[in-house]
Structure 1
Amino acid sequence: MARITLRQLLDHAAEYGYGVPAFNINNMEQLLAIMTAAQAVDAPVIVQASRGARAYAGDIMLANMVAAAEAMYPGIPVCLHQDHGNDEATCFSAVQMGFTSVMMDGSLEADAKTPASYQYNLDVTTRVTELAHKLGVSVEGELGVLGSLETGKGEAEDGHGTDQTLSHDQLLTDPDQAVAFVEATKVDALAIAMGTSHGAYKFSRKPDGEILAMHVVQAINQRLPGLHMVMHGSSSVPEELQERFNRFGGNMPATWGVPVEEIQRGIKFGVRKINIDTDCRLAMAAEIRRVATEKPDEFDPRKFLKPAMDALSALCRRRFEEFGTAGNASRIKPLSLAAMARRYQSGSLNPRAPLSVAV
């Protein structure tokens, strides 16, 4: 099955009322585990690569791994997404490598550390969107800075994220400003700031409305019902994975992630893409620690990586089922980038008019 754009996939998700987990990849093992889970439950896939992942694996390796996975799992539509593009060059180099979607994160300046002005964000995101849409490629923007409402701090991930102390105005997306931003930039999806953050240590207690601002999702959805929202930093950091990691020599303090039930609530109010990375790393790392502990004489990397892949695949399958993604791959007929470009050019694609893509 052909590669799919983020816009087409999220329009389908909106039409059928589900969300799509977006899993970060750095290597072959992660990609194969995700695809195995997707095939098992007939789910479309968003795989995304950060700048750090592209530097680690190399663009040519990443692009060809995804192409190989598409050939191995021909019934699964795959969106290849640039996560947290920091400037125009990052976004357009991704497009050149076959990415069908890019995130222009203008909430921070090009150094990926300094909080940007609204005007900077508006201008750079508009420039990326205008050119990307001419090529049929989808664009995700971001408004508001990811960070903790408890501490006021951001969390760096793969070199992306501010270490400054932020105000609540910066940490929470303004719903009225979100409408103006989307209508001006024409982004296909908007990442919102609502108290989530990167990494494992998101909350010091089970999150409630004071530290996980789900009301922001509802307020934006009321103003712009057709908008596809994105929740970043949405790993749930399950207690059982923490326990398993620590049982085999890890040292992770107790922490709380984003509860699955809150994500499911968000899906009802327009959240369509849910970014998950920490859970994936934790699932794999726990199994690698287990094998190292139980079989100290083992030195074959495959004996560590195969159980790690199985654990990741089980996690991904669970998220596909929990978010309603399962059962939808075979209902989608991917459109080419050229076809998507024509739709953008005709003006038929805008946040108030989702594209129907059912077979």
Structure 2
Amino acid sequence: MGIVTSKEIYERCLNENWAVGGFIGYDMEIMQAAAEAAIKEKAPIMIQASCRVIDYAGVEFLRRMADAVVEKYGVDLILHLDHGDTVERCKLCIDHGFTSVMLDCINDSFEENVRKTKEVAEYAHSRGAVMEGEICHPVEGPKLYETDVEEAVLYAELTGCDSLSVCCGNAHDMNPDYPKTLDVEKIKEIHRVLPHMPLVLHATSIFQEDFVSRANQYGACMKQPLNFSKEELQSSYPYGVCKINSALDIKILYTTAIREYMIKNPQNMDPRKYLSYAKNEIAQYIKYKHREIFRDSERM
């Protein structure tokens, strides 16, 4: 048992009817919730940290908390850097024991994206880690970004990345008033030309009405987004999609649960109480996502 790469689990789910859930890990409570939920569901454990999480908690603390999860629960855990902002940040995380990194070059030219990603991929491979690349380009209109099939093939060949994040109607920060449609046909086409490449989807949080209503009851002021359905998302799994990120929904639910507890228990000033409540809410939600969204329960 230990901190492992995503390679083996991706090989298992490639072309299957399930995907691995990658959950953002802000702190001890969310890491424990993710681990406990995965153990209950017999699902893989992938903890992700964005650059802002690393700035907040510190790369050393995140790695040591991951080690503590492995030791306490006797499990394998994938520790992943999500949306790395620089080559140096990716290398720092690898040096501190992250087994998977992603470099976000969304604002760079294709050539610069390839150069940076190739450098990180080679560094990762020399140290037993893996690299998630991302290829998409800006498009006019509410879709914001889109992956080109031919570009994806060339990018994968030139960079040597181990998995590939694609944008097929699932861009970050899309207008909630715009009907969000997952382009499964585009995903199929990418998979047809890259049949052995694990694909990754970001920005796929599917907010049910009760989720948004609960958050708004405690001050979120969210709009109900016009997202694609879980059935659309799941229809992409047999076509190379191996990992689905879960970050925004975790952040919203965590804050909602803390606010809810504090409003209902204003006299209780013990952080352990409201953090424990939020941790349990996150664990229940992650169990639901393993079973009903990712279908990766009973895979470990």
Distance 2:239 2:210 in 1: 29
Q: 2:233 aligns with which of 251, 263, 269?
A: 263
Distance 1:51 1:258 in 2: 27
Match of 1:88?
87
Match of 2:111?
119
The answer to whether structure 1 residue 184 and structure 2 residue 158 are counterparts is yes
Alignment map for 1:68-217 (pairs within 5 Å): 68-74=68-74, 76-107=75-106, 115-145=107-137, 151=142, 153=144, 171-198=145-172, 203-204=176-177, 206-208=179-181, 212-217=182-187
The change in CA–CA distance for 1:236 and 1:269 in structure 2 (over 3 A counts) is same
Match of 2:196?
226
Once the two structures are TM-superposed, the CA of residue 205 in structure 1 deviates from its matched residue by 5.0
The code of the aligned residue for 1:30 comes to: I
1:41–1:327 CA contact under 8 A, matched in 2 = yes
- With normalisation by structure 2, the TM-score equals 0.93
1:148–1:195 CA contact under 8 A, matched in 2 = no
The answer to whether structure 1 residue 245 and structure 2 residue 215 are counterparts is yes
Distance 2:116 2:180 in 1: 33
Once the two structures are TM-superposed, the CA of residue 151 in structure 1 deviates from its matched residue by 2.5
Q: Quick one: percent identity of the two aligned structures?
A: 29
Match of 1:45?
45
Q: Which runs of 4+ in 1 moved over 4 A?
A: 147-150
Q: Provide, for residues 157-191 of structure 1, a one-character-per-residue CA deviation record: whole Å limited to 9, x for no partner.
A: xxxxxxxxxxxxxx211111111111221111000
Q: Secondary structure at the residue paired with 2:236?
A: helix
The answer to whether structure 1 residue 288 and structure 2 residue 262 are counterparts is no
Q: Secondary structure at the residue paired with 2:235?
A: helix
Once the two structures are TM-superposed, the CA of residue 87 in structure 1 deviates from its matched residue by 2.2
Q: Provide, for residues 290-310 of structure 1, a one-character-per-residue CA deviation record: whole Å limited to 9, x for no partner.
A: 212222222111221112111
The change in CA–CA distance for 1:259 and 1:271 in structure 2 (over 3 A counts) is same
Q: Secondary structure at the residue paired with 1:245?
A: helix
Once the two structures are TM-superposed, the CA of residue 284 in structure 1 deviates from its matched residue by 1.7
Match of 1:164?
none
The answer to whether structure 1 residue 24 and structure 2 residue 16 are counterparts is no
Q: Which moved more, 1:254-263 or 1:86-95?
A: 254-263
Once the two structures are TM-superposed, the CA of residue 203 in structure 1 deviates from its matched residue by 3.3
Give the number of aligned pairs: 299
Structure 2 residue ranges without an equivalent (≥5): none
The code of the aligned residue for 2:48 comes to: Q
1:45–1:79 CA contact under 8 A, matched in 2 = yes
The code of the aligned residue for 2:21 comes to: P
Structure 1 residue ranges without an equivalent (≥5): 108-114, 154-170, 330-359
Q: Secondary structure at the residue paired with 2:26?
A: coil
The code of the aligned residue for 1:250 comes to: A
Q: 2:246 aligns with which of 260, 273, 276?
A: 276
Alignment map for 1:296-315 (pairs within 5 Å): 296-315=266-285
Distance 2:202 2:41 in 1: 24
Q: Provide, for residues 91-137 of structure 1, a one-character-per-residue CA deviation record: whole Å limited to 9, x for no partner.
A: 11001111001112233xxxxxxx21111111111111122112221
- With normalisation by structure 1, the TM-score equals 0.78
